[in-house]
Amino acid sequence: MKASQIGKNHSDSNEFTELFNSSFSSINETSSGQKVKGIITSISSDTTLVDINGKSEAFLMTAEIKTKDGYLYKTGDSADFYIAETSSKGIFLTQKIGKGYMSPSLFSIAFREGIPVYGSVDAEVKGGYRISVGSQSAFCPFSQIDIKKTDSSYTGKSFYFIINELTSSNIIVSRRSLLEAKQSLAIEKLKTEISEGKTVSGKITRKADFGIFVDIGGIEALIPKSELSFSRFTAVDSFHEGDSVSAKILSVDWQNRKISASLKQALDNPWKKISDFKKGGVYSARISNIIKHGAFAEISEGIEGFIHISKLSYTKKVNRVEDILSIGDKVNVSIEEIDETAKKISLSLENGESDPWKDCDVASKTEIAVIESVSSSGLSVRLSSGMEGFVPKSQLSKKGDIFKDYIKDSEIKIFITEADNSKRRFIGSEKELELIEERREVEKYITGKEEASSSASLASLLGDKLKDFAKK
């Protein structure tokens, strides 16, 4: 059997147990590559002795069974082994071809029978990678290290390989053929286990700018960046390879072996907790996005509200949101409205300024305003308190060219004829102010008082004055 023909139905060393048994059924009992049962009789720092079926004692490198916590086995334990080499010095065993003792004869058997070998990637070289398999050096082309090209570094990592070519001077190996075989097996199994809408568990295998990849039973599923979390601030870098996650399957394309999934859709919708937030409440938030007319702020993971540009400051005109806020800024906001059905929240920025519209009545008052803008219909103005309003053209005293007579950023004295606190707007008038001034002058003349404070009409005042004249 050629190396290119094997590996299609096996995924790792355990899955190749049956292949080992069948491959060596015709080999003598003590031939290299043969699988045998053994009982651990003693363990030293260098060598472990193994009784193979009571027939003879064999040697195993202790490093194979040593872990950071001790040893995989203790004296008296039974385990499976492979004969690495037989010689006048004895029988040498291994449990993983390439992990322990590796004789030249085992390379030939592995190549001939298509048995995977274990190797570590030493370095990237021209055209591929240098692989160490036991004491031997092998070469793996770039195209054979993985199914798809990734940005991940392979150097320093260990994998199973198939020997594709074996000569006295070259050993060429492939990891891709094993991965493809493993993937084919996984797909057939997954076809019976997953479907769109089902929640599955997996482990993160790699990351990219556009999302993360998760192994869900031997097949990688893509989690797009937009599906990582309900929060815009969840970055790809916040996830780590090897982490276990739960994901909801969004789509399955078996033909092209593509699966997309979502982490956030496997979670409860954060809007289920909207009752935790109240109208009028002040909360800490983080600016998540900025547009021309305002900014979005996240008050809790997955719950955003909108701050209109007019709600960024009570005391000054804001022309550009970017002049006040930047994405990522931590701010305090006040909730003005909550629409649970539409999942919309209206916010205002709490920046230490007092709201001039709150419990304030400017109607029927004379004020000095700054002209914010001039249009053919009138003037947009702002009071020193920050309150914004409008003076219609019909209420302006000057009759000439409005664009010449009224200059942006200049001051104008007006009388507030209307004020709507709910809409946070007022209407001002120059003409009304002139009429009031005229009335005051007439009132002073009629009453003879310097300060005219009477609320009586001019007609009644004039009538009283005429009566006084008649008495005289």
State the CB neighbour count (10 A cutoff) for residue 2. 9
Q: What is the pLDDT of residue 423?
A: 78
Tell me: do 472 and 359 sit in the same domain: yes
Q: What is the Cα–Cα distance from 231 to 245, expressed in whole angstroms?
A: 17
Q: What is the Cα–Cα distance from 206 to 214, expressed in whole angstroms?
A: 7
Residue type at 381?
V
| H helix intervals, 104-199 | 104-113, 176-190
78 DSSP assignment: E
Tell me phi and psi for residue 210, to 5 degrees: -95, 0
Bridge partners of residue 373, in order along the sequence = 380
Residue 343 lies in a domain: yes
State the CB neighbour count (10 A cutoff) for residue 325. 20
Tell me: do 80 and 135 sit in the same domain: no
How far from the centroid of its chain's Cα atoms is residue 322's Cα? 23
Residue 77 lies in a domain: yes
Mean pLDDT of the chain: 82
Task: Provide, rounded to the nearest whole percent, the portion of the chain with pLDDT above 90.
Answer: 36
Tell me: do 387 and 424 sit in the same domain: yes
Residue 76 lies in a domain: yes
Q: Give me 278's structure tokens.
A: 């109240």
Q: Give me 327's structure tokens.
A: 């994405």
Tell me: do 360 and 458 sit in the same domain: yes
| Per-residue confidence band for 285, with pLDDT thresholds at 50, 70 and 90 | very high
Final residue of a domain: which of 322, 350, 378? 350
How far CA 86 is from CA of 17, 104, 112, 432, in Å, comes to 21, 12, 19, 115
Parent domain of 39 = 3-112
Three-class SS of residue 353? coil
Q: 211-220: per-residue pLDDT in tens?
A: 999 988 878 8
Total domains, the chain:
5
| Per-residue confidence band for 268, with pLDDT thresholds at 50, 70 and 90 | confident
Q: Which of 323, 327, 330, 275 lies closest to 303, judged by CA? A: 275
Three-class SS of residue 175? coil
Contacts of 321 (CB under 8 A, 6+ apart): 290, 291, 292, 293, 294, 295, 309, 312
Is 282:352 a contact under the CB 8 Å cutoff? no
| Per-residue confidence band for 67, with pLDDT thresholds at 50, 70 and 90 | confident
Q: What is the pLDDT of residue 448?
A: 61
In terms of Cβ atoms closer than 10 Å to its own Cβ (0-12, 13-18, 19+), residue 255 is exposed
Tell me: do 91 and 107 sit in the same domain: yes
Residue 185 lies in a domain: no
Is 4:177 a contact under the CB 8 Å cutoff? yes
Residue 186 lies in a domain: no
Tell me: do 165 and 205 sit in the same domain: no
Q: What is the pLDDT of residue 25?
A: 37
Q: 101-143: per-residue pLDDT in tens?
A: 566 667 787 787 677 788 899 999 999 999 998 778 999 999 9
CATH code for the domain of 261: 2.40.50.140
Final residue of a domain: which of 59, 85, 112? 112
Q: What is the Cα–Cα distance from 436 to 447, expressed in whole angstroms?
A: 16
Final residue of a domain: which of 158, 179, 200? 179
- Virtual CA dihedral for 124, 180, 198, 247, nearest 10 degrees? -10
Q: What is the pLDDT of residue 262?
A: 93
Tell me: do 423 and 440 sit in the same domain: yes
Tell me: do 378 and 306 sit in the same domain: no
b vs e for 6-37, b when ≥16 Cβ sit within 10 Å of the residue's Cβ? bbeebbebebbeebbeebbeeeeeeebbbebe
Q: What is the Cα–Cα distance from 225 to 234, expressed in whole angstroms?
A: 9
Q: What is the Cα–Cα distance from 202 to 231, expressed in whole angstroms?
A: 21
Tell me: do 133 and 209 sit in the same domain: no
Tell me: do 105 and 93 sit in the same domain: yes
State the residue for tokens 């009784």: 51
Tell me: do 46 and 68 sit in the same domain: yes
Q: 23-61: per-residue pLDDT in tens?
A: 333 334 566 667 788 999 999 988 899 998 766 788 888
Residue type at 56?
S
Residue 107 lies in a domain: yes
Three-class SS of residue 150? coil
Q: Give me 84's structure tokens.
A: 């690495």
Q: Give me 334's structure tokens.
A: 């006040």
Q: What is the Cα–Cα distance from 222 to 262, expressed in whole angstroms?
A: 8
Residue 184 lies in a domain: no
Q: What is the pLDDT of residue 30?
A: 60
Residue 168 lies in a domain: yes
Tell me: do 359 and 448 sit in the same domain: yes
How far CA 355 is from CA of 277, 278, 311, 348, 380, in Å, comes to 21, 19, 10, 11, 19
Q: What is the pLDDT of residue 143?
A: 92
Q: What is the pLDDT of residue 293?
A: 92
